[in-house]
Structures are given as C-alpha cells and as structure tokens.
Structure 1
Amino acid sequence: MSTRTHRTRMLVAAALTAATLTLTACNNGEGVQDEGASAGSTSTASPKADGGPSTGTDQTDSAGSPSAGSTGGAAGSNGTTGGTGSSGSTGSSGSSGSSGSTGSTGSTGSKDSEPTRTPCSPASTRTTATEVSRPLNHLLLTVTNTGSKNCNLTGYPAVRFSEAQSVPPAFEDSKPQAVVTLAPGESGYASVLLSAADGSGAGGYTAKSLAVYFNNSASAVAHPSLPAKGVYVDNSIRVSYWQPTMADALAW
C-alpha cells in the first residue's frame, strides 16, 4: 500500500511539474497562437470604429442594404426627373399654335376670284323701250348686259320724256328683296306707267324721245328709241324698281 501511494504521489508531482513548465513557456512568449487570436479580434474591432467596410457577414448585410437603399433613392430621384421631362412635354401644347393654320381661312379670299360686280352702265349694256298692250298705257324697259362681267341694277330708272323738267317717282312697293345682278347676256326689267287708264290724269302730252338714267347719275344715260308716233304721258306717270323678270316688272 505504501508503494502504490508513493507512485501516485510521483505521478501527481510529474503532472504539476508539466503544468508549471507549460505556464512558464506561455509567459516567455511561446504561446503565439493564443495571442494572435486576441490580436485578430482587436484588428477586427478597429475597422468598425473607422466606419469602413467589414468582412464580417453581419456587417456585409447591413452595409449592403444601405447601399441598395441609396441606389433605389437615386433611381427614385431619376424617376422624378423623368416626371419633370414629361411635364415639359406639355409644352407641346404649343402645337395648338398650328391652329394658326386657321390662317387657311384666308382662303375665303377666294371670293376675290368671283366675277367683279359693278353698277350697270350704258357703256356695257343695251337698253330698249317697248310699248305693251297689257297692262294698258305701259312701257317696258329692258337692260341687257353686253359686257364680260356681272353688273348690278340698283334702285329704279330715272326716266325723262322729251323736255320734261323732272323725273317720275317710283312704286315703292315694287322694291325687290335684293339688288338685281346681271351676268353677261342676262337682262333686267322695269315698267313705266305712262298715263291713267281711266283718263283721270292731267297735263298730258306726246313724248317723242326718252332718256334713261342709271343709278340716278346724269353721266350714265341711255337713249332708247320710242315708237315713231311717240307715247302719251300725263302726270300719273310712275316707274317700278328694276326687276329680275319681265312679269315682275309689268305687275306695276
């Protein structure tokens, strides 16, 4: 028993001696691996303090998400810029200026291409005076456009028989709705009531000549021929306005 106890004590002493040797070696700088590990953890901590990128998994994720967020923010800002561009496209409303093409309405100036309408005159017309049987005591004046342009017969003819000092008045109710326009070759008409059919007129005389004034102008006068025997005129004389048809003229 004493021998076994002695061996046990020797083993314990040897173990203690080994442990002591190990600790001593560590204190002499031989434990490089353990000290290196602690130094590595220290170097890892310093980049965190500087805010630089970390090779740690957790740091990579956290750093990745902010960079992605900033990228998304940039994209969002670009989207805003795009929106501004589209609003600029509303400037295309300037195309409404193309409505300025309504200047094409100037094509209404095509009216200028229509035949010029001027007052009829003896120089471009032929005037005749015809005694008719119905109605009684009436003379029919016919004016035919012999020119190359349209002309207008306005108002009523101012007629003067022989040496009369005045021109007869018109039947106001005979005034047409519009001015009578004669195209080349067309005719307009007016009638002259020479005397009262029942003989009630006064101051009668026989006229052998006739002057017809256009537009009441003394410089525009025609001299149509009368029948050789002349026509009888009294103070009942009246004229109609110029009419587009013979029937309209002889209605007065």
Structure 2
Amino acid sequence: MTTFRTRTAIATAALVAGLSLTACQNDDAVGAAVPAGSAANAGSSSTAGSGGAKASAGTAGTAGTGGSTASAGNSGSSAAGKTTGGGGSSQNAGGGNGGADSSACTTANTRVVVSKVARPVNHMLLTITNTGTKDCSAYNAPLLGFDDAQAATQINEDSKPQAVVTLAPGESAYASILLSSAAGDGEGGGDAKKLSVHFAQRDGGGSAGNPVTLNLPAGTYTDSTASVSYWQSDMQDALTF
C-alpha cells in the first residue's frame, strides 16, 4: 500500500475560510451504473444567483459513475471520450478568481465533478474540465475538506507528476481520492455528506479563486487515512494512487 506524507499546513487556513462560501444541492439517489448528480454552475458574480434545472455532465471513466458536479458560468464541453454522466439540477454560485494567477484553473473556468469508481476500492475520482476560452493550469493537488473538517485532506506526495497539467479548452484533469484504508486501520471514520474543493495556487501558498462544495453519494465513508493525489492528465494514472 502506498504510503502518504502529509502536506496540510499550506491549505488549512484557506480551507477553513472557504468551507461555507458555496451553496450545495441534494443529490439524486445513486444508481448502479451512472446515477444522477447535483451541479453548481460558477458564474462571475460573487453572490449566489438563481438556479434553474438543466442537464449536467457527470463523470464515469472505465470504472466510474456519475456524481456531483460544479461548473463555470461559461459552459464548455468535456473532452471527447473522457467523461460520461447523468443529468442533474443546477444553481449559480460565485466563481471569481480572487486575484489569483490568471493562468490557474479555478471554479471560474472549470467544471468540477466527483464520482464513485468501482476500482480501486474505497476511491472516488475528481475531474475538472476547462470550460473557458483559454488554457488553464491545474497546479499541485486539489485542497479538499469533508463536511466541517478543520484541516485539509492529506496529499499523496508519491503522485506528484513531472510537469504541471495544463488544460486547453475542453480538456480534463483528474485526481483520485482515497476515502479510507482497505486494511481498516484508519481512525475517526464516518459517512461524509459534502466535499469542499479548493484549487491550489502555482506557488502552493494557498487557494486560487473561490471553492466549490459538492454533495457526496450516500454512504461515502472516510477516515483518517483519506488522501488525494496531485492532478493528472490521464484518468487511469490518477486511479493508480
């Protein structure tokens, strides 16, 4: 089993400040193959707008299923052949870049999807798709928080790629989330209902733009061994961690 080294200090302050910034919407029941998910569309406004029902892409890979999504106000198509998913409801949420590096991927220029996967066990897949008109870079690893966690989920340092993942419009990047130890040796376990996602700045000094909060499928169990990989350009590469 891959060992993990904790890299939480740089993300904790940004995570605590942002955990309550975005609105969530209840998921539909998770189906056996590609269940419906809930979506939040990030716009340029810093306040929540009115939501309307519409179809939203979930994510499935070769072993994935649809999940909760968040997308930018300027919607774009997912990379061909990389994602499929079920429809869901949507609402508008603020998605400004917060003065961060304009080259960074944020909620203002990406759609964010979290999905269950069949393999490896105890994993989920986080997918972002560039919905903007310019390239954006997925720096470092996503900064995650389950429910009301006061510290960011640890980052799997073994997953660090050789180069930053840069996305052209329509392209996607992936990060795997280990929810709990397969050996059952984690502590403080319980079912999580929400996942807060922050994007990292290039220098790793904090978060870029506003976070997004996604609803998790029922029965998403996490414990103290939970971790997230760095962004990867290939789905299967992400799921190896």
Q: Normalising to structure 2: TM-score of the pair? A: 0.54
Tell which structure's C-alpha radius of gyration is larger: 1
SS in 1 for 2:108: helix
Please name the residue that 1:199 is paired with: 184
Paired position in structure 1 for 2:125: 140
Tell me the distance in 1 between the aligned counterparts of 2:221 and 2:184: 11
2:226 matches 1:240: no
In 2, Cα distance between the equivalents of 1:176 and 1:117? Answer: 22
- In structure 1, the partner of 2:12 is none
Match 2:116 to one of 124, 131, 151: 131
Match of 1:119 in 2: 104
Mark the runs of 5 or more structure 2 residues left unpaired by the alignment.
1-100, 201-205
> What whole-Å deviation, never above 9, does each CA across 1:185-232 have from its counterpart, x for those lacking one?
0000001100011211111011101110001417421223321x1410
Partners of 1:122 and 1:222 within 8 A in 2: yes
1:225 counterpart = 2:210:
no
Tell me which residue corresponds to 1:182.
167
Residue in 1 that maps onto 2:195? 210
| CA–CA distance in structure 2, aligned partners of residues 230 and 129 of structure 1 | 14
Provide the secondary structure at the position in 2 that maps to 1:176. coil
SS class of match (1:247): helix
Q: Deviations over 1:83-123 (max 9, x none)?
A: xxxxxxxxxxxxxxxxxxxxxxxxxxxxxxxxx97100101
> C-alpha root-mean-square deviation of aligned residues, in Å?
1.6
* Percent identity for Structure 1 against Structure 2: 51
For 2:108 and 2:219, locate their aligned partners in 1 and report how far apart those are by CA, in whole Å.
Answer: 25
1:164 equivalent among 142, 149, 160: 149
Query: Paired residue for 1:150, among 125, 135, 143?
Result: 135
Paired residue type of 1:248: D
Residues 107 and 209, structure 2, Cα contact 8 Å, conserved in 1: no
Letter in 2 for 1:199: G
Q: 1 or 2, which has the higher helix percentage?
A: 1
Q: Please list every run of 5 or more consecutive structure 1 residues that lacks an aligned counterpart in the other structure.
A: 1-115
Residues 1:230 and 1:210: Cα distance change in structure 2 (over 3 Å): farther
Kindly provide the amino acid, as one letter, of the partner of residue 128 in structure 1.
V
Distance 1:222 1:126 in 2: 10
Native 8 Å contact 2:108 2:209 kept in 1? no
Q: What is the rounded CA distance, in whole Å, between the counterparts of 1:230 and 1:165 in structure 2?
A: 21
Counterpart position of 2:49: none
Q: Work out whether residues 188 and 245 of structure 1, in 8 Å CA contact, stay in contact via their aligned partners in 2.
A: yes
**Helix, strand or coil at the partner of 2:237:** helix
Deviation at 1:131, TM superposition (A): 1.0
